[in-house]
Amino acid sequence: MFAGLSDISISQDIPVEGEITIPMRSRIREFDSSTLNESVQNTIMRDLKAVGKKFMHVLYPRKSNTLLRDWDLWGPLILCVTLALMLQRGSVDSEKDGGPQFAEVFVIVWFGAVTITLNSKLLGGNISFFQSLCVLGYCILPLTVAMLVCRLVLLAEPGPINFMVRLFVVIVMFAWSIVASTAFLADSQPPNRKALAVYPVFLFYFVISWMILTFTPQ
């Protein structure tokens, strides 16, 4: 009796669609569409301003939590490449150029920063991995300035005065780096662990300062 009903075919051409909007997510959605559809120039300017702001914060260290929110690794990359280029022995275009030294500086900086980050995370700090890398990388800025000054001073004639000037500059910039980085990093540690978290930072910047101080362009 109902055999005829089986011949009625359901057409598959009729689409069934609609939209369900959930009001509580609307704030996040506005933020999404603003960065998804912004122009390329806006993106570039936004990132450049963020990098510039962080450089200013390193030069004038203040305790600030908002700085760490937008981490980026552009500053550390630029500083690392600049430092590695300046730490070359010999000329850049020769056959026996300082290839291994370039890679060595790179490896020391990045491997050292990763080790310090792991150390602070293992000690129970509530800072994220990339934030810590960002802070450590940006605080190399004073030491890069020290390297620049040392290279300029080395153009003059060598002697004990030369060495004293370089030593003074490197010590001042080393202290500046330590102050800048601990202003950001120490707060993220529990109070009885602050020294344990800070001493690897001290060691890291000490190694870089030593490389800068003992540099001689032969």
Partner 1 sequence: MLMRKIYQKDLKRQETQDSNDDIEDVSLFDAEEETTSRPKKSKIRHPVASFFHLFFRVSAIIVYLLCELFSSSFIACMVTIILLLSCDFWAVKNVTGRLMVGLRWWNHIDEDGKSHWVFESRKASPQDSKTVSEAESRIFWLGLIACPVLWVIFAFSALFSFRVKWLAVVIMGVVLQGANLYGYIRCKVGSRKDLTSMATSYLGKQFLRQTTGDDQTS
Binding mask 136-165 for partner 1 (x = CB under 8 A): ------------------------------
Convert residues 108-127 into a mask of x (bound to partner 1 by CB under 8 A) and - (unbound). ------------------xx
Q: How many CB atoms lie within 10 A of CB 152?
A: 9
Q: Answer positive or negative: Cα dihedral of 77, 170, 210, 61.
A: negative
Side-chain half-sphere CA neighbours of 7 within 13 A: 4
Binding residue (CB under 8 A) for partner 1 from 25, 26, 34, 35: 35
Would you say 43 or 175 has its CB closer to partner 1?
Answer: 43
Letters for 167-186 (x = contact with partner 1 by CB under 8 A, - = none) are --------------------
Q: Which region, left, alpha or beta, applies to residue 62 given φ > 0 means left and ψ of -120 to 50 means alpha?
A: beta
Note the Cα 213 to chain centre separation in Å.
24
For residues 88 and 119, which CB has a smaller minimum distance to partner 1 in the complex?
A: 88
Count CA atoms closer than 13 A to 207's CA, side-chain side: 15
Q: Which of 50, 51, 61, 102 binds partner 1 (CB under 8 A)?
A: 102
Determine the interface stretch with partner 1 among 51-59, 65-73, 156-164, 197-205 (rule: CB under 8 A).
Answer: 65-73
Q: Looking up tokens 């959930």, which residue turns up?
A: 22
Which is nearer to partner 1, 23 or 99 (by Cβ)? 99
Q: Residue 47: which residues within 8 A CB-CB, separation 6 or more?
A: 72, 74
- Residue whose token pair is 């500059």: 169
Instruction: Fill in the DSSP letter of residue 178.
Output: H
Residues interacting with partner 1, by CB under 8 A? 1-4, 6-10, 12, 15, 32, 35-37, 40, 43, 47, 68-71, 74, 77, 81, 85, 88, 92-95, 97-100, 102-103, 106-107, 126-131, 188
